[in-house]
Amino acid sequence: MSEDWAVRTARPASLEEVLRVVTPAVGRLGVRTEVSEQWVVVTDGNDRPRVWIGRPHRSADGQGVDLDLCATGHDVVAEYGAPESLVRDVAGALASALGGVAERRSLAIVPDEPDLSAPYQALPDDCPADALTDTQALVIQSQQRIALTPWLVHQQQWVARHGLGLTVVTPATSSLTPAASAMLRVTGSRWVVDTGDTLYDGHLGLRLSWDGREFSASDDLDPAFAPLASDTWAPLVHAEVVHPYDAPMRIGELTADVCRSAGLTPPSWAGIIEPPESAYDPELITDVAQQVSPGPSRFVITGSGFDGMLDVIPQPPGVVEQMEVTADPRHGRLPSEALAEFAVGVIDAGAEIAVLGYRRSTGGRLVPSRMTGPTVPAVAVFARRRFPDLSDAGALRLAGRSARLVETPLPAVVVEYDAEPGTPEGDEAAARLIRLIEGLAMHDIHLRDAGA
């Protein structure tokens, strides 16, 4: 298990300054800078990396409280097996020199080591994983909150370069941020939960077995994956629009407007890691996306009481701006008047598709290692211009009895769902929305133009 610390400081420090601070603290151990220039690496006498210190970035505390408590911080990560005092000395020296505080992130119980029937492979000197087989790189984490940190991104990139699969192993007390969860899913990585008695897939709940080389899934759900009756429901907002290439483009303005329509503040921060490192600025987001184009871009976004992602996806018809945020459960369920205002607001903002619903939550905005099920919708909005060959009657037939057509501020189909989350009616509403989206996809002008 890696030993993870965060050093929160009043000001950022360059890697050169970190190097000067750390060198006296590690005594006879060598210190060098990683080739990527993203880390200062403390090595032992055999030039084996033992501790990594990252570049400065905005840092929330270990429990992920709201942004008004953020400060500048450095990630300090020690390799599994490194002397415990070493990372403490490094983090302490950095905190002392920069007028900050060193906080240990490993707050949960340490998961049991897998019972291997074959030995681990020897770790290469530059390997950031805790264990290797010929197919898997295992990263063992014990934090209560696993975020998309520079260290996790570094691990995933190293694994991808070496043609391995990334497996993140946590105890059942850990949760992922939505961004970390999405990264593991999109890269084909696996989240393994160690209960002490069993192993299971943290996203799917399928019980796993380990043969010393890789994990295999059964068809059975682990009982620990079952939801709790005490779970709450967090508001979730999804919206998207396609920006034509021949029109002025400011990606991110729709996202801010949709947040306002849902009763949230606009996003405060955006970036590619957590916590996001830049103030939310549609012009900056647009510039970065254009530099990455024709590839897609994903931004972590966060604001007062919500976290989420903004995806920018170039397609033949235009550039797709797609956002999804999860708010604190304390926001509660919106009354019918607020849902109507949401529908008007997102249509006026230019959203072509928008959904406001509720996701099962353990009391926060994180993804738990338990079943969350589908989002239970409260209201869904579909702009008519997205489905021009579908008649009004056809749209209403697909949407069902609770649908209505609106002409202002722009023509759209609005579907309201009067279903209580956590009930059979809520599950049926979720299924109805999925069927509606699948039916509308057959008439989606952008999917057709993209060759779908």
- Taking only the tens place, the pLDDT of each residue in 235-272 is 999 999 999 988 888 999 999 999 999 999 999 999 98
The sign of the CA dihedral 19, 20, 22, 23 is positive
| β-bridge pairing 367-368 and 318-327 | unpaired
CATH 3.40.50, the chain: domain bounds: 131-225
What gap in Å lies between CA 377 and CA 357, rounded to an integer? 4
Question: How much of the chain, in percent, has pLDDT values that exceed 90?
Answer: 34
pLDDT of 76 over the 50 cut: yes
pLDDT tier for residue 116 given thresholds of 50, 70 and 90 = very low
SS (H, E, C) 238-260: EEEEEECCCCCCCCCHHHHHHHH
Q: Give pLDDT, residue 160.
A: 86
Q: Give pLDDT, residue 118.
A: 44
Give the CATH number of domain 5-104: 3.30.310.80
Q: Give pLDDT, residue 354.
A: 97
What's the pLDDT tens digit per position in 312-354? 998 888 899 999 999 988 888 889 999 999 999 999 999 999 9
pLDDT tier for residue 123 given thresholds of 50, 70 and 90 = low
Closest CA to 421 of 305, 342, 329: 329
CATH 2.60.120 fits 131-225, yes or no: no
pLDDT tier for residue 151 given thresholds of 50, 70 and 90 = confident
371-376 average pLDDT score: 86
What's the pLDDT tens digit per position in 187-222? 889 999 998 889 999 999 999 998 877 888 999 999
Average pLDDT, the chain: 83
Q: Which residue has the tokens 């077995």?
A: 209
